[in-house]
């Protein structure tokens, strides 16, 4: 019964753990060679991410059946609403991770993930358009997830679905990234600062241009000027945030720390692909350094999450 009581407080944002682990799997597969990590290491992380996804999905389904009011409260919350698509994005990322090993499974995953992502994008956008409760201070970088998250789909989608479908998702994600990027910078600069526990979500700023770069290369196969704009924007945002690590290190641990993982994985993969397309050693050095840092970050996150779970149970999310 105690476990059931804890399930009521299990947040939907817990699927950010799956995004982080799957991002690590993709980063290891893309950039791990120089660190002596073969394809087996990427597959091992993919298996771990898949097991975690299945376990968390089962727990959240039980929560949905037993504590519908708690799920409804998350859905109506101006911040927590944005984390529901972490589930659908996890499906798409798992499709990308499984693609070299099990294409049939990857096809089912992306069909489910992209369909659900599109549905959630429409519903969340409609909620934003006709809201009666949101204020400017409710906006935060997690707002990228529901709509800009569509930009992930072409990474596996180019091989698993039609090119036009992939371009559709890419276009939606790209345009709303530009719109929300301007809105969020206005909010951060001219309004009250983000709550401390949400500050790790600043790293989400890295993900749209980094993932956009990877997706654009998947769609076009060429490193053209627009691809370079996406990559260098992501690289600058990474630098901007990494120099502030002392500030982030003082933030109390919560599930929001997992916001560090997937964006770092995305810029790692992007740097590895930049190295492959340009042949310049500098980008390989950047990719190797970022992968080493990502491994350290995910290791810390796993240890801290396990410790928090032992202390606080499934309610660890909100710290």
Q: What is the pTM of this model?
A: 0.94
- Under-70 pLDDT residues of the chain: 1-5, 32-36, 38-39, 312-319
Question: What pLDDT, on a 0 to 100 scale, did the predictor assign at position 68?
Answer: 93
Distances (CA, A) of 110 to 24, 215, 258, 293, 299: 19, 15, 23, 29, 28
Per-residue model confidence (pLDDT) at position 3: 58
For residue 19, what is the DSSP state?
A: H
Element containing residue 128 per DSSP (H, E): helix 103-129
pLDDT at site 236? 98
CA dihedral over 37, 40, 43, 45, signed as positive or negative: negative
pLDDT of residue 1: 47
Nearest one of 58, 61, 50 to 25, comparing CA atoms? 50
Burial of 225 (0-12, 13-18, 19+ CB in 10 A): exposed
Taking the C-alpha atoms of residue 162 and residue 164, their distance in angstroms, rounded to an integer, is: 5
Cα dihedral: 72, 115, 203, 76 (round 10)? -10
CA distance 209 to 198: 21
pLDDT digits (tens, 9 = 90+) for 197-214: 889 999 999 999 999 999
Q: How far apart are CA 242 and CA 172, in angstroms?
A: 29
Does the CA dihedral 94-99-105-111 come out positive or negative? Answer: positive
* Cα angle 177, 178, 182; round to 5: 110
Q: What is the DSSP string of 66-79?
A: H-HHHHHHHHHSTT
DSSP reduced 3-state for 193: coil
Structural domains of the chain in order of their starting residue, each with its CATH number: 2-318 (1.50.10.150)
User: What's residue 69's pLDDT?
Assistant: 93
Structure tokens at 110: 């992306």
Tell me if residue 101 falls in helix, strand or coil: coil
Per-residue model confidence (pLDDT) at position 123: 95
Cα–Cα distance for residue pair 261/294, rounded to 1 Å: 7
Question: What does the pLDDT read at residue 317?
Answer: 47
CA distances from 55 to 15, 50, 214 (A): 11, 9, 29
């Amino acid at each position: 019964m105690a476990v059931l009581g804890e399930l009521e407080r299990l947040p939907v944002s817990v699927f950010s753990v799956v995004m982080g682990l799957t991002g690590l799997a993709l980063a290891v597969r893309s950039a791990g060679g120089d660190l002596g990590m073969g394809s087996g290491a990427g597959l091992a992380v993919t298996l771990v991410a898949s097991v975690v996804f299945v376990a968390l999905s089962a727990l959240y389904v039980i929560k949905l059946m037993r504590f519908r009011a708690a799920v409804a409260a998350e859905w109506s919350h101006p911040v927590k609403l944005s984390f529901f698509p972490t589930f659908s994005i996890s499906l798409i990322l798992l499709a990308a991770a499984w693609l070299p090993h099990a294409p049939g499974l990857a096809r089912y995953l992306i069909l489910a993930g992209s369909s659900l992502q599109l549905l959630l994008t429409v519903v969340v956008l409609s909620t934003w358009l006709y809201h009666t409760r949101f204020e400017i201070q409710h906006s935060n970088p997690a707002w990228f997830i529901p709509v800009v998250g569509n930009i992930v789909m072409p990474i596996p989608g180019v091989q698993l679905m039609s090119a036009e479908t992939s371009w559709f998702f890419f276009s939606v994600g790209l345009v709303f990234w530009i719109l929300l990027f301007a809105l969020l910078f206005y909010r951060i600069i001219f309004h009250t600062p983000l709550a401390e526990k949400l500050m790790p979500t600043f790293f989400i700023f890295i993900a749209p241009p980094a993932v956009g770069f990877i997706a654009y290369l998947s769609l076009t196969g060429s490193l053209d000027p627009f691809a370079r704009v996406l990559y260098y924007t992501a690289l600058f945002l990474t630098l901007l945030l990494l120099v502030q690590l002392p500030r982030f290190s003082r933030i109390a641990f919560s599930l929001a720390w997992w916001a560090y993982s997937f964006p770092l994985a995305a810029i790692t993969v992007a740097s590895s692909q930049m190295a492959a397309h340009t042949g310049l050693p500098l980008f390989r050095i950047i990719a190797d350094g970022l992968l080493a840092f990502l491994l350290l970050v995910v290791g810390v996150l796993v240890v801290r999450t396990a410790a928090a779970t032992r202390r606080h149970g499934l309610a660890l999310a909100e710290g």
